[in-house]
């Protein structure tokens, strides 16, 4: 836990995200993304499933009521918007920008087999 590698890592981390102060931005973002089912819904949209029924069918255990609630929240945060063609939802620029976060979560989950 200590040693040269650890301090290099800490320095890199500080440079990246600022000092140790509580970050309201960070907190709000992690609460938004991590809310129950939200990660799975965004991941499904990234995979090109845009209609309510498609999203609901792609996520086992997610009720229509909760999906509807989550879509409303994501829309109010500007992460998704109704598609111009009326076929469900599309990720906005802000929503597509979540890609790197989701990728890192997927890689971590794969490395540690979280959920198996």
Residue pair 37/59 in contact by the 8 Å Cβ criterion: yes
Shortest gap between Cβ of 68 and a second copy (angstroms)? 19
Two structure tokens written together for 52: 């309510």
Q: Which is nearer to a second copy, 48 or 65 (CB)?
A: 48
Shortest gap between Cβ of 72 and a second copy (angstroms)? 17
- Other Cβ atoms less than 10 A from the Cβ of 11: the count is 10
Would you give the binding string for a second copy spanning residues 87-116, x where CB under 8 A is met? ---xx--x-xxxxxxxxxxxxxxxxxxxxx
Please return the burial class of 72, using the count of CB atoms within 10 Å of its CB with bins 0-12, 13-18 and 19+. exposed
Strand boundaries in 16-116, DSSP class E = 80-82, 89-91
d(CA 31, CA 43): 16
Q: Binders of a second copy among 18-57, rule CB under 8 A?
A: 18-20, 22-36, 38-40, 43-44, 46-49
Size of the site for a second copy (CB under 8 A): 63
Binding interface with a second copy (CB under 8 A): 1, 9-10, 13-14, 16-20, 22-36, 38-40, 43-44, 46-49, 58-60, 77, 83, 90-91, 94, 96-116
């Amino acid at each position: 836990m200590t040693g040269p590698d650890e301090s290099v890592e800490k320095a890199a981390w500080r440079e990246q995200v600022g000092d140790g102060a509580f970050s309201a931005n960070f907190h709000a973002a992690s609460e938004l993304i991590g809310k129950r089912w939200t990660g799975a819904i965004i991941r499904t949209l990234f995979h090109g499933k845009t209609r309510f029924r498609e999203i609901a069918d792609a996520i086992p255990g997610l009720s229509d009521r909760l999906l509807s609630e989550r879509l409303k929240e994501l829309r109010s945060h500007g992460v998704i918007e109704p598609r111009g063609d009326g076929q469900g939802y599309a990720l906005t620029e802000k929503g597509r920008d979540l890609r790197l976060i989701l990728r890192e979560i997927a890689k971590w989950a794969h490395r540690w087999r979280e959920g198996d």
